[in-house]
Amino acid sequence: MIRNFTKLRIAKHFWLFIVILLILSFCIVNISFADEEFPWEIFYPAIIKKTIDNDKDGFTKEQGDCNDSDPSINPDATEICGDDIDQDCDGSDLLCFTCEDVAGYWVGKYSENYCTGGGPSNADHTATFNNDCSVSVYVYLLDRSLMGTFSLSDHTIIITLPDADATCGTYILTGTVNGNRISGTISSTGGSSGTFYFDKSN
């Protein structure tokens, strides 16, 4: 009889232990811990760790989030150059592009639908980009040099050539810098539109 009583107590305690274990497991998975600095995830099973997104930005550590406490940092974030922060988690900060990076002599071509209705043109041109973000573009079709400025944001360049033509007005060339080529689109206050490219001349 004593042996049966002992077995009953062991079985009773075993099931009590199982219940307590289940309760603790439920609490660890679901409770919002006040102490965010403590690495509670060390208690989580691997299958649960893969689903934890601490900063609610749509990415877990296992999915490439290199800072899961900051929602502005994740593989889909836009990288900001020169701030020493790796926003897109590619392993490095993006270097800012400067006027010095573009400075030099470039040759290329632009094709546009001329603003006066004279039809499409396909002109050769050369450009000298200077360290102070000024630029001189010589267009062979117009047989004249256009003085302007340019601005840079990451690898995007906007070239402004005011008073390029009495009718067409200011030309805006918006493009991207990719190695030794700048390419993009043309617009003007007079209605011109088209495309352009410059290649770096060594």
Type of residue found at 173: L
- Residue 54 pLDDT: 80
How far apart are the C-alpha atoms of 191 and 163, rounded to whole Å?
Answer: 13
- Residue 26 pLDDT: 64
Q: Which two tokens stand for residue 59?
A: 């990415």
The per-residue pLDDT of the chain, averaged, comes to 81
- Residue 34 pLDDT: 44
Does the pLDDT of residue 98 top 50, yes or no?
Answer: yes
Q: Which residue has the higher pLDDT, 118 or 40?
A: 118
Does the pLDDT of residue 55 top 90, yes or no?
Answer: no
How far apart are the C-alpha atoms of 198 and 32, rounded to whole Å?
Answer: 56
Question: How confident is the model over 144-170, as a mean pLDDT?
Answer: 87
- Residue 129 pLDDT: 96
**Number of helical H runs and strand E runs in the chain:** 3, 8
Does the pLDDT of residue 32 top 70, yes or no?
Answer: no
Give how far the C-alpha of residue 128 lies from the chain's centroid of Cα atoms, to the nearest Å: 29
Q: What are phi and psi of 27, to 5 degrees?
A: -65, -40
Question: How confident is the model over 99-125, as a mean pLDDT?
Answer: 87
**173: exposed, middle or buried (Cβ count in 10 Å: 0-12, 13-18, 19+):** buried
Type of residue found at 146: L
CATH 2.40.128.120 for domain 99-200, yes or no, is yes
DSSP letter at 34? S
60-97: per-residue pLDDT in tens? 888 888 998 899 999 899 888 778 898 999 888 777 78
Q: Which residue has the higher pLDDT, 118 or 196?
A: 196
Q: What are phi and psi of 30, to 5 degrees?
A: -105, -25
